[in-house]
Amino acid sequence: MKQLLMLFLCILSIGCSGLIPYKDQNLDYLQNIEKDPTAYRGQVVSFGGEVKGITEDALRLRLVLQIDAPLYYYATGKGGAVAYELILVTFNKRGMPSMTGIKKGNEIKVLARVSSYETRKNFTGKDIAVLHLLAFALSDHTRHKDFFRPETPERALYESWKEGRLFFEESAQEVIDRCPKPTLPELAPQIRAAMETAPAEEHLPEKGIVFDEEEPPFLVAPEQ
């Protein structure tokens, strides 16, 4: 009986988003970020939910995501307080000009870095705090289609997330550490030599009024 109860609670804790592949984090984690957003800036996170608003052009997608609330939140009394947390998500589409086709009402998951925590006004004029994420991977589960940045280590993070390893078997930092570090391009010998023998910086003239000797002086008549 105890095992059945534990299984039931586990299913409830998964809620409506956890049954879909690709690990996401819950509202408890979101509340931890809210308590100290500066400490989480730049960290890799993942959230899933329903698109409540979206704007998109050829370069950028911005959306408002309503985070999924596990069913057990309602049993513990948390549902009414945190079931409708909203976050802002920005996805830079440079290099992929086609439209994603993501629409309001779609169920998606985002893999992103924490950017900032902003205060905005809702439709009633009340100030609300909103977490802003910079996404580098989106998974539209309504249409079973993914979008991700191809750079390193973003693509490696997405692949680990897609395969179910990220946040389970390995951390984001472990994935990043495996990726080759970018190297600066080697300067051509003639450019390097020119930089090494560059003349010393010329002394700039002292600040002040400089008159052009080829022009007549500008005189102001004294006051009478």
Q: Rounded distance, CA 152 to CA 150, Å? A: 7
Given a cut of 80, is residue 171 above it in pLDDT? yes
- What kind and span of H or E run contains 147? strand 145-148
Using 50, 70 and 90 to split pLDDT, how confident is the model at 101?
very high
Q: Is the Cβ–Cβ distance between 156 and 172 less than 8 Å?
A: no
Instruction: Give the CA distances from residue 138 to residues 11, 40, 63, 94, 119, in Å, rounded to whole numbers and listed in that order.
Output: 24, 20, 11, 15, 24
Displacement of CA 119 from its chain's centroid (Å): 17
Q: What is the pLDDT of residues 6-17, one digit of tens each?
A: 433 343 333 444
Given a cut of 70, is residue 91 above it in pLDDT? yes
Beta bridge partners of 63: 54, 89
Alpha helix (H) residue ranges in the chain: 2-18, 27-35, 37-40, 72-75, 79-82, 154-162, 172-178, 189-196
Q: Rounded distance, CA 208 to CA 221, Å? A: 22
What value does the mean pLDDT take over residues 163-188? Answer: 86
This prediction has a pTM of 0.69
